[in-house]
């Protein structure tokens, strides 16, 4: 089964089956000595996102970023980074929703990405400066 066909399976509300099939397709490529491209790995990350497997999705995106560097193909890098930010935000929200597993003081030892998400969430925008209107 191809990666795109497996992704289509996942889009039909069969997320777990789609994740399994995408992983199998990626392993088949590797077994044949072929490299997947970064976008193919993004299909896995996106499917992990919809199925709630956020850590698996983040792991897939790390692999995608490694492929971007190795293949020197930056076409999909912005989308990979956007999806990574989305997964980090969802992961932070799921941690916040579950009981208070850690306090704000525990964030000092967290991964830099989680610190940034926490800082962005806590940031209060400054009021807009009043610009005098010409009379």
pLDDT digits 0-9 by tens, 4-42: 888 888 888 888 888 889 899 999 988 998 888 898 899
Report the C-alpha gap between 100 and 63 in whole angstroms.
31
| pTM score, whole prediction | 0.65
pLDDT range class, residue 87, cuts 50, 70, 90: very high
**Tell me, what's the pLDDT at 27?**
92
Residues contacting residue 95 through CB under 8 Å, at least 6 positions apart: 101, 102
- Domains, the chain: 3-94 (1.25.40)
- The alpha carbon of residue 78 and the mean position of all alpha carbons in its chain are separated, in whole angstroms, by 12
Q: Encode burial over 3-41: b for 16+ CB neighbours within 10 A, e otherwise.
A: beebbebbeeebbeebbebbbebbeebeeeeeebbbbbb
**Tell me, what's the pLDDT at 99?**
46
Q: Does the pLDDT at position 86 exceed 80?
A: yes
């Amino acid at each position: 089964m191809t990666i795109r066909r497996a992704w289509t399976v996942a889009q039909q509300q069969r997320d777990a089956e789609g994740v399994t099939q995408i992983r199998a397709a990626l392993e088949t490529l590797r077994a044949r000595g072929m490299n997947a491209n970064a976008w193919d790995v993004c299909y896995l990350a996106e499917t992990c996102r919809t199925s709630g497997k956020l850590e698996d999705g983040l792991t897939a995106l790390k692999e995608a970023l490694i492929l971007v560097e190795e293949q020197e193909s930056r076409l999909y890098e912005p989308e990979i980074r956007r999806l990574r930010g989305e997964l980090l935000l969802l992961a932070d929200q799921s941690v916040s929703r579950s009981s208070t597993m850690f306090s704000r003081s525990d964030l000092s030892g967290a991964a830099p990405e989680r610190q940034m998400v926490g800082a962005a969430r806590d940031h209060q925008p400054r009021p807009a400066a009043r610009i005098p209107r010409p009379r």
